[in-house]
């Protein structure tokens, strides 16, 4: 069996970092890509596995050329990719009365364009193997709107991710490439940690389980979608939100 090689964007923190650790623990070689190159290399160095099994690099995923160049460098170190977790994202706050042009541009450039650019960068590997799995991070905000879960620009961009993965699942099916998304609810990450205590209580109260999710739980969901047990699943959104929304 070919050893998995997984690219994780936004892999230096939060859900992305947890996904990198889970993939490495499951035996994969991991390429960690993040806007913060130093942090990406630090995460790659802390992952379990033999020396040199993992590598980190920096790139702004909203820039297709820079993303492609960084992924090329990672491929040279860890090998052709068999999977992708597109986790890089930003969450601008603010409703329709205050959303700015820059917030709209940046939300769609990173949250949607970043998925497109990461897919484009690994697609030659997946097509060559006629196999592979792509997992993108959507959000509960795509289904319940913004509010506590993120502003207008964030919710709209994550809704676009849902449409994107369905289009890609149809487009790439002939190459036997599966494409799915995870829609997390409130999750204990640095992004959620920026909220104050009252907001965090309100986040927890949106779930039936009465708590935020853990990044490691979302990483387990991504591992399932990447792996063979999800071999007949494509074009789907897996809701991992503690019962905050029934997909």
As annotated, the active-site residues are: 154
Q: Name which of 28, 24, 17 is nearest 47 in CA terms.
A: 24
Is the separation of the CB atoms in 89 and 137 below 8 Å?
yes
Tokens of 43: 């995460």
> What CA–CA distance (Å, rounded) separates 83 from 71?
13
Tokens of 142: 């795509």
Place of tokens 């995923």: 61
Is the separation of the CB atoms in 24 and 53 below 8 Å?
yes
């Amino acid at each position: 069996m070919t050893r998995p090689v997984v690219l994780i964007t936004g892999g230096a923190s939060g859900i992305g970092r947890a996904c990198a650790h889970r993939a490495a623990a499951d035996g994969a070689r991991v390429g960690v890509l993040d806007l913060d190159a130093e942090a990406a290399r630090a995460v790659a160095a802390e992952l379990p596995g033999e020396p040199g099994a993992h590598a980190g690099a920096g790139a702004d995923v909203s820039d297709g050329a820079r993303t492609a160049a960084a992924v090329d460098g990672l491929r040279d170190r860890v090998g052709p990719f068999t999977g992708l977790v597109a986790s890089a994202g930003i969450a601008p706050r603010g409703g329709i009365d205050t959303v700015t042009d820059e917030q709209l541009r940046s939300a769609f450039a990173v949250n949607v364009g970043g998925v497109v650019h990461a897919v484009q960068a690994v697609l030659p590997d997946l097509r060559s193997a006629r196999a592979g799995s792509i997992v993108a991070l959507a959000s509960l905000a795509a289904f319940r709107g913004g509010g506590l879960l993120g502003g207008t620009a964030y919710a709209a961009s994550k809704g676009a991710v849902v449409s994107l993965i369905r289009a890609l699942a149809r487009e790439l099916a002939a190459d036997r490439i599966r494409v799915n998304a995870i829609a997390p609810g409130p999750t204990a990450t640095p992004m959620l940690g920026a909220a104050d205590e009252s907001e965090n209580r309100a986040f927890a109260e949106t779930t039936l389980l009465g708590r935020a999710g853990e990044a490691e739980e979302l990483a387990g969901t991504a591992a399932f979608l990447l792996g063979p047990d999800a071999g007949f699943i494509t074009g789907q959104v897996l809701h991992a939100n503690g019962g905050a929304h029934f997909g």
